[in-house]
Amino acid sequence: MKVLLFCPTYRLEPETIDSIFRLDPAGHELHEHFTRWNPCDVGHYNILYHYRRARDMVLACGFDALLIVESDMVIPADALRRLAAVQDADIVLGLYVHRHWETLEQCRPNVQLWPRNANPTISAWLSDHPEQWRAAWGGVMQAAGSGFGCVLIYRRVLEVVQFRIHDFGGKWIPADADTYFHDDAANAGFRIYCDLGVVCGHKTPEGAILWPGLDGNSSTPGQPSPYHLTEYQS
């Protein structure tokens, strides 16, 4: 399989580069592409520009899949091997912690069980369901979506689904290209899975790396923690 590893960079972390260069191609033809040119004044539009560029490269250059690794992620060496091994999947997600919350205690893993707004009375986040979170840990499960921190997208999806965002007149955008892409892919009948064994680190601007796990700090005693903090070990 011919795979494009695409890393759109705003602040490319050395741990990210190191983990990408340690990545096992697992017999696949792997091509890395790093890009930093941001032609737009608004960050959301730069993100959209980069993902659309990645899609164009896959479709124009005969790639079979797109592996997105964002520039603050630390991926395991077997990430591609594991993601590509998931059967009957069109999109396969790695596991990492979303860190865009007001406090560290609010950070949570990226796995959504169902599309946003599908069931507004119950949390869609896997980590808010402790028994299911423990049972799923380390395995593969169907998901509704996630971010693009570490994700393998097959060509057949990109031939149908485009990257997009909503423009609310310059106001805050509650969902970015990743959310809309997964929603559109699911609505088109494509299957999304998450391999909870592809455990990725997410570096903060302060230099710490968040790792998802069942141990570590928890705001509710006796429940699994959605994250723990650690320093990166090369």
* pLDDT score for 216: 37
* pLDDT score for 158: 98
Residue 62 maps to which CATH number?
A: 3.90.550.40
* pLDDT score for 11: 76
Question: Residue 140 and residue 161: Cα distance in Å, rounded?
Answer: 24
Least Cα distance to 198 among 83, 69, 67 occurs for: 83
Q: Residue 56: is its pLDDT beyond 50?
A: yes
* pLDDT score for 130: 76
Q: How many domains does the chain have?
A: 1
Q: For residues 203-230, give the mean pLDDT.
A: 54
Q: Residue 111: is its pLDDT beyond 50?
A: yes
Question: Residue 70 and residue 148: Cα distance in Å, rounded?
Answer: 7
Enter the pTM of the model.
0.85
Q: Residue 81: is its pLDDT beyond 90?
A: yes
Q: What residues are paired with 8 via a beta bridge?
A: 35
Q: Residue 218: is its pLDDT beyond 70?
A: no
DSSP assignment of 83-137: HHH-TT-SEEEEE-EE--SSSGGG-EES-BSS-TTSSTTS--BGGGSHHHHHHHT
CB atoms within 10 A of CB 141: 16
Q: For residues 42-57, give the mean pLDDT.
A: 81
Backbone angles phi, psi at 114, to 5 degrees: -150, 165
Are 192 and 145 a contacting pair, CB within 8 Å? yes
Q: Residue 94: is its pLDDT beyond 80?
A: yes
Q: Which residue has the higher pLDDT, 80 or 122?
A: 80
Q: Which residue has the higher pLDDT, 13 or 233?
A: 13
Average pLDDT, the chain: 80
Q: Which domain holds residue 17?
A: 2-165+173-230
Q: Residue 104: is its pLDDT beyond 80?
A: no
Least Cα distance to 98 among 143, 145, 147 occurs for: 147
Q: How confident is the model at residue 40 (pLDDT cuts 50, 70, 90)?
A: low
Strands 2-8, 65-69: pairing is parallel
* pLDDT score for 136: 85
* pLDDT score for 66: 98
Give the DSSP H or E segment for 44. Answer: helix 43-60
